[in-house]
Structure 1
Amino acid sequence: MTGHKTPRVINVDVNFTLPSHLNYGTFILERISNLNEKVAFINGATDEKISFGEVAQQVVNVSSSLTKLGIKQGDVVALCSENRPEFLISAIAALCSGAVITFINSSYNKDELVHTMGISKPTYIFMSPNTFKSFHEVIKESRPGCKFFVFGDADKRVATSYDELSRSHVNRLSFQPVDFKGRVETALILYSSGTTGPPKGAKLTHSGLIIAGMQPTCTKRQLNSLSIAPWSNTVGYINTIRETIRGQTCIYLNKFNEATYLRAVEKHKAGLLMAVPPLIVMLAKSSILNKYDVSSVELMYCGGAPLDWSVIMEIKQRFPNLKHVLQGYGMTETPGVLTEEHEGMTQNGSVGRVAPGNIVKVVDIETRQILGPNEQGEVCVKGPVLFEGYIGKDMSEYLDEDGYYKTGDVAYYDDEGFFFITDRLKELIKYKAWQVAPSELEALILQHPKVKDVGVIGKPDQLAGELPTAFVVKKSEDLTEKEIIDFVAFKVSPWKHLRGGVRFIDEVPKNGSGKILRRMLRDLLKENPRSKL
């Protein structure tokens, strides 16, 4: 703290008019309908392009087909695919038809897939040929009666081809999407990890997503953007749609390959790189960067985890025309952004000012009293952008008595309203912007017959953010580190692997109620950091 200032709640008014239909899909369609021949999406690996006009027409065709097939308001439509235009087109089309959409990560294993499908309970699912091959049998078993749509060729006995849905040409001027007539309805279910176990289903509203789409973005200039974030996660989807609504050309990749990425920057003149800290670190240290023309890059936008100032200075040395590395802060529960920097409105080390549609306060962690500028406390938020709750969860645990969502993030704001994230109350581990719940890994490791007890924390790492690390109490003396690492790797997605390794200890420190004292584990880690695996 730097001295007491007048406590205040930061309320940024929403100075724009919402459409009366309150349909997020219709809102997107309206924003892109007049862009016609302008390129909307470019596959950075194959150079395939699709125009805004083609996107809009396919949205109308697919939505009309879905309505004819019987999809109606409230039906849940899932999408499980790598990044490709059909993914976003199908999502927008389903929203126009009144359905609720949800995204299934194509990297999930069987248990994670079944868990998330069990939360949202979709009755229809769009898939790529690859994800259909991997998950069709699992989904058919866990969701009997679920109807499948496949991007590309499909066996008509088990699935409908996307091409069949998009083939019939519907007049865009006569197309009638679902009108919610001012009612606030659920649009999107996204999965937010928590400290108490596997992902929870967060319900986002049409109105909240429309407001998020209207929020000012980091630049008013027209710059081709490049992103490798999967569209099945919050950051990837929300940022891509924000750019799409503004008529920006979005270059996308399904996976990171350094040469392919830099070639895409050069060939398609990317001016805005949407990145997480590990990617910016890699670019700053790239040994092949000088082989490519990256002079088109003027801005980098970073989110998902804090970015060290030294990295910002280093990356500016590598990109000749890079003007700003802008940062933003948000979460699944507040689609769009909670705070964000803009060109001409930055502060070293900050994540920007509060975005429209959010009401934010910083409170003392112990007393819950509202704090003033330059005083650290927990960030709490409410407002029209905030999600409407977790499926099947009592929200009293997550909201304070005034209805503010308790983010679990510790921060302060300065006299000019710029926010600085300093710590995290929540115990989530952030590995390359992926969220890993320690309790999920602890429950898994405890299933090993040679393990007596375990505590999991994140080991700080400049490249990845944090590396999941386990402190294990042995039940059998012949238990090895490799045995536990392999045991976990076999059962979870790659970002949950124990890349920070395993430390064997005599006892996991806990308080009187049995809660693991993770700060003590972090102290042990500092004493014996070792190298990452």
Structure 2
Amino acid sequence: MNNPLKPNSDLILRRNNKVYGIPMKEEIGQNGYGYYVYEKMIKNKDKIFQIHGLTGESETYGNLLKRCKRVALEMMNRGVTEKDVVLLCSQNTLDAIVPVFSTQFINTILCSVDPSQSVKEVAYLLNLAKPKMGFIEKESVNLIKDALEINGLKMEIIVMTHDDDKNCLGYFLKPKIEEDNFKPKIMKDYKKPGFLFFSSGTTGMPKGILYSGYSSLNNNLSVSQLGFEAKIGTHLSTFYWGSALLVTTKVLISDGMKVVIPTRDTRIFAKAMSDYKVTLAFTSYTFAIGLNETITKDLNFNNLEYLLIGGSIVPENHLIKCRKLLPKTLVLLSYGQTEAGYITSFTRETYPFALQKLSCVGPPIPGTIIKITDPDTEKLLGINQKGEICVKTNWHLNGYHNADTTTIFDKAGYLKTGDLGYFDEDNCLYVSDRLKETFKFQGWHVSPAAIEEVLLKHSAIKEGVVIGVPHPLDETHSLAVVVLKEGYEGINEEEIIQFVNERVSDREKLRAGVKVWKELPKTPSGKIMKRKIRDNFINK
């Protein structure tokens, strides 16, 4: 097979064991994300921006602009400033995008939580963000109130209904005298954070990731340079995940339309994709696992150009299955991080490699440099040598919210991803493992530290850790490895499992059970060696 990257060897190249994406042709968004959105809405005012994938209700760019102006003005009237954080908690609806764009019109930071999260999880995230105002779907109001109460936080709750009550979105959407003359503020510092995402750090607990609208715009522009467009785009996730913003931004850059599909059911989601002739969809591990011939046989995916699967590496057999079911579609493993957006990608020209190198995530996207380093020494590694993936771009995160950021960059300014991987001889990247202790269950980050906190409250346990072990359908299951206190040697493992499972969320349950060891391996300093424990179960 001919190497499709060889003709571009002067563009995608390896130099001093660093792999360079092709140069960016231009940059956009210097006036700010909100101003870019505003100009796109003016340009495309009569075109449909979004359509509900289940009901067919639609909205033009122009009408959405009017609604976003009104909400932005009302937020300012209520004292929301550039220094504040505004919360969104909503399933994917036609209203969900309004707070996203409205906050960017006034250069305020937006953060999101997902309605399916537990009170405990949301309480932790809200304590990090401390939002001044929140736009909350009606079904999640009690979730947010309970989470605020745990930390004694106060926040103005705006219920996302169209009632006239002053604490409802409908009130915000009333006509404003100033709306005809309103324009978003031009940002003095266009790299100022506009979004606050949440991700799991190396310590295992979520951190607030500050990300600028400028970074989102140019990360998407980089992928556009490879030929990716979202003439009709959709995303599976809510705005809690960065992928929702990435697809929305991609639609804007493409002057396209977004199909809003408020479900995670694979069958329903796939049917809406077919009905509205989606051209680009960002989905998940669970979507790829669930897609089958029974679902696709009566549907038409001839218009689907790109199916991006993010969050986790899909097993090869399911990837092959998806590509057979969608023969006209580029089915791609999307490697990226909330901290850096898209990082690698195959293109239509290099897709033959994707078909041959099933677990490969492709070469760097334009404007990106990747190197592989030894996690302990930061020594540069060569071809087929596994180490930590480190990335340099102009659109990585601004930093962690109210937390130290110095440790996530190396001395040369590369972002340390916490992922292990390697490059092959064709400059294609493979992601093989995670340095981070966190793992994923059905696309959700699971924090071992949170489960361990509960586990160690059991009276029989002297010490213990929680690790993730691979599962063919759910990605990873939680397994506890414990050392028992003297006198408790006869305790039933099921009792420990029940104790923990009654006190954690569904995704944190010990589905892989409990293993009792006499002692846990430790470093000379006394730190438990989790990777060594995990290897005992992974590498059997």
TM-score range, shorter chain: 0.7 to 0.9
Seen in structure 2, the aligned counterparts of structure 1 residues 477 and 53 have a Cα distance that, compared at 3 Å, is farther
SS across alignment from 1:77: strand
Aligned length: 519
1:136, distance to aligned residue in structure 2 (A)? 2.2
Answer yes or no: is 1:330 the counterpart of 2:336.
yes
Shift, 1:140, TM fit: 5.4
> 1:211-264 CA deviation, whole Å, 9 max, x = no partner?
224222475455533432122122233233323442333223333224422332
Aligned 8 A contact 2:336 2:343 in 1: yes
* Corresponding residue for residue 216 of structure 1: 223
1:87 to 1:491, Cα distance in 2 relative to 1, 3 A = farther
1:493 to 1:53, Cα distance in 2 relative to 1, 3 A: farther
CA 1:325 to 1:193, structure 2 compared with 1: closer, same or farther past 3 Å?
same
Query: Contact between 1:32 and 1:245, CA under 8 Å: does it hold in 2?
Result: no
Change (3 A) 1:220 1:273: closer
Q: 2:284 aligns with which of 276, 279, 283?
A: 276
Structure 1 unaligned blocks of 5 or more: 529-533
Residues 7 and 141 of structure 1, relative CA distance in 2, 3 Å threshold = closer
- Number of the residue aligned with 2:261: 253
* Matched position secondary structure for 1:149: strand
Structure 1 segments, 4+ long, off by >6 Å, are: 170-173
- Larger deviation, residues 390-399 vs 287-296: 287-296
User: Alpha-carbon deviation of 1:337?
Assistant: 0.6
Shift of 1:162: 0.8
Question: What is the CA-CA distance between 1:5 and the residue it aligns to?
Answer: 8.2
Cα distance, 1:482 vs structure 2: 4.2
Contact conserved, 1:511 with 1:517, CA < 8 A, in 2?
yes
Q: Which residue of 1 aligns with 2:525?
A: 513
Partners of 2:18 and 2:369 within 8 A in 1: no
- Give 2:233's aligned residue: 225
Shift of 1:527: 8.6
**Cα offset for 1:433?**
2.5
Any idea what the Cα deviations from partners look like across 1:304-340, whole Å, max 9, x if unmatched?
1122333222223333x43321222111111x31112
Partner of 2:52: 43
TM-score normalised by L of structure 1 = 0.88
Determine if the alignment matches structure 1 residue 188 to structure 2 residue 195: yes
Instruction: Show CA shifts across 1:463-490 (max 9, x none).
Output: 2222222223344356444444444444
Give 1:341's aligned residue.
Answer: 346
1:434 to 422, 444, 447: 444
CA contact (8 A) 2:204 2:436 kept: no
1:314 alignment counterpart: 321
Contact 1:125 1:147 in 2 (8 A): yes
SS of aligned partner of 2:205? strand
Could you tell me how far apart the structure 1 residues matched to 2:65 and 2:88 are? Answer: 19
| Alpha-carbon distance, 1:298 to partner | 4.1
Question: Is contact 1:62-1:165 (8 Å) kept?
Answer: yes
Structure 2 unaligned segments of length 5 or more: list them: 1-13
Select 2:174's aligned residue among 148, 167, 172: 167
Confirm whether residue 109 of structure 1 aligns to residue 115 of structure 2.
Answer: no
Q: Distance in 1 between matches of 2:280 and 2:27?
A: 28
1:443 pairs with one of 453, 456, 460: 453
Q: Distance in 1 between matches of 2:93 and 2:177?
A: 22
Correspondence for 1:203: 210
Mapped partners of 2:295, 2:218: distance in 1: 41
Partner residue in 1 for 2:62: 53
SS of 1:197's equivalent in the other structure is coil
Q: Which amino acid aligns with 1:120?
A: A
Q: 1:308 to 1:170 in 2, by over 3 A?
A: farther
| 79-88 or 164-173, larger mean C-alpha shift | 164-173
Contact 1:64 1:170 in 2 (8 A): no
Q: Does residue 405 of structure 2 align to residue 395 of structure 1?
A: yes
- Distance 1:373-1:136 versus aligned 2 partners, 3 A rule: same
Closer, same or farther: CA 401–136 of 1 in aligned 2, 3 Å = same
Which residue of structure 2 lines up, in the alignment, with residue 454 of structure 1?
464
Q: Give 1:121's aligned residue.
A: 130
SS at structure 2 position matched to 1:131:
helix
Percent of aligned positions that are identical: 25
Indicate the SS of the match to 2:430.
Answer: strand
CA shift, 1:279, in A, is 1.5
- Separation in 1, partners of 2:137, 2:498: 30
Classify 1:8/1:477 alpha carbon distance in 2 versus 1 (closer, same or farther; 3 Å). Answer: closer
Whichever residue aligns with residue 340 of structure 1, its letter is: S
- Structure 1 residues 399-408 or 490-499, which shifts more? 490-499
User: 440-449 or 325-334: which moved more?
Assistant: 440-449
- Greater mean alpha carbon deviation, residues 164-173 or residues 323-332: 164-173
SS for the counterpart of 1:33 is helix
The within-5 A match list for 1:20-31 is 20-21=30-31, 23-31=32-40
Structure 1 window deviating more from structure 2 (84-93 vs 415-424): it is: 415-424
The alpha carbon displacement at 1:296 in A equals 4.3
Which moved further from structure 2: 138-147 or 182-191? Answer: 138-147
Q: Is the 8 A contact 2:52 2:261 kept in 1?
A: yes
Q: Map 1:409-420 onto structure 2 (within 5 A).
A: 409-420=419-430
Q: Match for residue 178 of structure 1?
A: 185
RMSD of equivalent CA atoms: 2.9
Deviations along 1:132-188, whole A, 9 cap, x unmatched?
1332244256354421211105694xx611111122167877322122224532211
